Every structure is written in C-alpha cells, then in structure tokens.
Amino acid sequence: MTGGARGPAIALVGVGLICQEVGASIAVRLFPQLGPLGMVMLRLVFSALILVIVARPRLRGHSAAAWRSALMLGGVLALMNGAFYLALRELPLGVTVTIEVLGPIALAVATARSRVAWLWAGLAVAGILALGGGGWDRLTVSGVLFALIAAASWAGYILSSARVGREFARLDGLALAMAFGALLSLPFGVVDAGAALLRPELVALGAAVAVLSSTIPYALELIALRRLSTAVFGILMSLGPAIASLAGFLLLGQHLSLLEVLGIALVIVASAGAVWAGRERPSAEPVA
C-alpha cells in the first residue's frame, strides 16, 4: 500500500474518532431521559434513515454471502452500541473507553504478520491505560462485563466492516447493515425510552448523536478499511482516548497530568509505528 493511499485513510479515521467523541458527550447527557438503549435505538434508526437516503442501496444483485456479511455487521453494530452505552451507565467514560478499545488492540495483535507490530500494540495498551483516568475504584461487575462485550464487538465490527466494504459498492452494505441493526434495537429502545420519544427536542438531539457517532464515523471507517490492514486500523483506534483527553484540555480546560501526557505520547508513537510497519509490509492485509 502506498503512502498516498494510506494518508487519506488515516485522516478519515481521525475525523471519525473526533466525531465519535463529540457525539458521546451529547449522548451521555441524554441517558436520564432516554436511557442507554433508547439512545442506541435513536442513534441507529436515524443513521439508517440517512444512509438509506444517501446511498439508495440496491436490494438485488447481491450474493448470499454478501447479505450474510451485511446482516452480521448490523447485528454487531446493535450489540456494540448497546453494550457500550449500558457500560457507560455504570462506569466513568474514561474507564469504559479504556476497556472497550482493548478489543481493536487485541485484533491488531491477532492479525499482525510481524513481531514488531506487537511492540506497537503493547505501546498502545500502555498509553490507553495511562489515559484511563480516575474511576477504577468504582467498577461494577455488570459494567465491566458490558464494556468487555463492547470490546469484543468492536473487534467484530472491524472485521465485518472490512468484509462489507469489499462485497458492496460505495456505502450500500453499510446502509443495509445499519437498517438491520436499527430493527434489532427498536423494541429495546422503545421500552427503555418510553414517553421520552414524544419529546421533539430529545429526538432531535438523538438525531445529532446519530450523525456524529454513527453515520459519519462508520462511513469513514468503512472507506478507510478498504485501504488499511485490520492490524493497522486496530492500533489507530487507540487514538480515541487520546483525542478525548486532548479535546478536554483544549476545549474544556481540563487538566492533563504528566501520566496522561505520557499516555498520549505513547498512543501517537504506537499509531505512527503501526502505520510505518504497514508500509513496510504491504502484503499483510488480513481479511476477515
């Protein structure tokens, strides 16, 4: 893979992660009114509507294998988002993200074709742990379990998204997958949110979260996964906690400890090293 092909793909990943952090900050504030599963439902339903309108996916001409891939991705999307928001209800954001991002890192190690990639993954893990922030004394069994389910689902999402990106043109596969994920989340979300779904201002905020946390990031990541190996992509996901910490420092005036600064540096070095290793070994394109 040439540097010219990797550069835009890395930029897409970065933009997607920034959008996700902004969307997550809005979503957490809506939990008291909509509940975590109600928020997931609105996020997936609005994302599906937007993607179907924009992509206008064809329903004919796809193989059975392609349909299985799209349905698998839809199921993973529903499970990943549901588990993540259920974990957020019980655990601090920093702790939840720290646990969840271990899924992509584990995938990066599993799919790496060289031992040097394990070094970058190890550095990423060290950086993420340094960025975990406070709240480790407030762990709950169910919260950690939900976060681990989200971590495993995120790894499954990367593999499924890469497969869908190969088997469908443009954003067709993602639109179909999101529609299926929205259908799966619908009954749980309606029960969790209840009468709050009748409040237009909450539904509008849910739509904003959908665009920021699902529509834009998932579309950009699907495109990026057509150009990056899953090993490189998995390590790049470790930039999420670093971006969140930097955003808190630059936009909210939140203090960064020396340990957190070190964590950011380790994550950046790990991501740069993973991209460099991917350049040196273009044949290592593990696929789902």
Please state, in angstroms and rounded to a whole number, the distance separating the CA atoms of residues 256 and 245: 8
Please state, in angstroms and rounded to a whole number, the distance separating the CA atoms of residues 114 and 116: 5
Q: Measure the CA angle with vertex 110, ends 235 and 273; round to 5°.
A: 35
Residue 184 located in a structural domain: yes
Residue 253 — very low, low, confident or very high, per pLDDT cuts 50/70/90?
low
Q: Please state, for a pLDDT cut of 90, what percent of the chain lies above it.
A: 33
Please state, in angstroms and rounded to a whole number, the distance separating the CA atoms of residues 144 and 102: 12
Does residue 272 or residue 262 have the better pLDDT? 262
Residue 286 located in a structural domain: no
**Which structure tokens are listed for 220?**
């950009």
Q: Does the pLDDT at position 256 exceed 50?
A: yes
Please state, in angstroms and rounded to a whole number, the distance separating the CA atoms of residues 29 and 19: 16
The overall average pLDDT reported for the chain is 82
Residue 251 located in a structural domain: yes
Any idea which of 134-143, 171-180, 276-285 has the lowest mean pLDDT?
276-285
CB 125 within 8 A of CB 266: no
Q: Does the pLDDT at position 156 exceed 50?
A: yes
> Helices (DSSP H) in 168-238: which residue ranges?
172-193, 200-210, 216-225, 230-236
Please state, in angstroms and rounded to a whole number, the distance separating the CA atoms of residues 213 and 61: 30
User: What integer pLDDT is reported at residue 109 of this predicted model?
Assistant: 75
**Which structure tokens are listed for 161?**
């998204």
Report in angstroms the alpha-carbon separations of 122 from 190, 230, 233, 268: 41, 16, 15, 13
pLDDT in tens, 80-133: 999 998 998 888 766 777 788 888 888 877 777 777 777 878 888 788 777 765
Residue 287 located in a structural domain: no
Residue 288 — very low, low, confident or very high, per pLDDT cuts 50/70/90?
very low
The shares of helix, strand and coil residues in the chain, as percent rounded to the nearest 5, are: 85, 0, 15
Please compute the mean of the pLDDT values over residues 215-242 and round it to a whole number.
83
User: What integer pLDDT is reported at residue 248 of this predicted model?
Assistant: 60
Q: Does the pLDDT at position 165 exceed 60?
A: yes
CB 202 within 8 A of CB 27: no
Residue 14 — very low, low, confident or very high, per pLDDT cuts 50/70/90?
confident
Q: Which of 106, 101, 122 is nearest to 244 (CA)?
A: 101
Contacts of 96 (CB under 8 A, 6+ apart): 84, 87, 88, 143, 147, 150
Please state, in angstroms and rounded to a whole number, the distance separating the CA atoms of residues 165 and 221: 10
User: What integer pLDDT is reported at residue 95 of this predicted model?
Assistant: 74
Residue 28 located in a structural domain: yes
Residue 14 located in a structural domain: yes
SS3 89: coil
Encoded amino acid at 21, one letter? E
Does residue 95 or residue 50 have the better pLDDT? 50
Contacts of 246 (CB under 8 A, 6+ apart): 264
Does residue 253 or residue 46 have the better pLDDT? 46
User: What integer pLDDT is reported at residue 286 of this predicted model?
Assistant: 39
Within 10 angstroms of residue 58's Cβ, the number of other Cβ atoms is 11
Residue 246 located in a structural domain: yes
**Which structure tokens are listed for 41?**
């439902």
Does residue 65 or residue 29 have the better pLDDT? 65
Q: Does the pLDDT at position 283 exceed 50?
A: no
The boundaries of the domain holding residue 66 are 3-280
User: What integer pLDDT is reported at residue 60 of this predicted model?
Assistant: 87
How many independent structural domains does the chain possess?
1
**Which structure tokens are listed for 286?**
């593990």
User: What integer pLDDT is reported at residue 132 of this predicted model?
Assistant: 63
Residue 200 located in a structural domain: yes
Please state, in angstroms and rounded to a whole number, the distance separating the CA atoms of residues 273 and 76: 29
If you average pLDDT over each of 18-32, 87-101, 169-183, 268-282, which comes out highest? 169-183
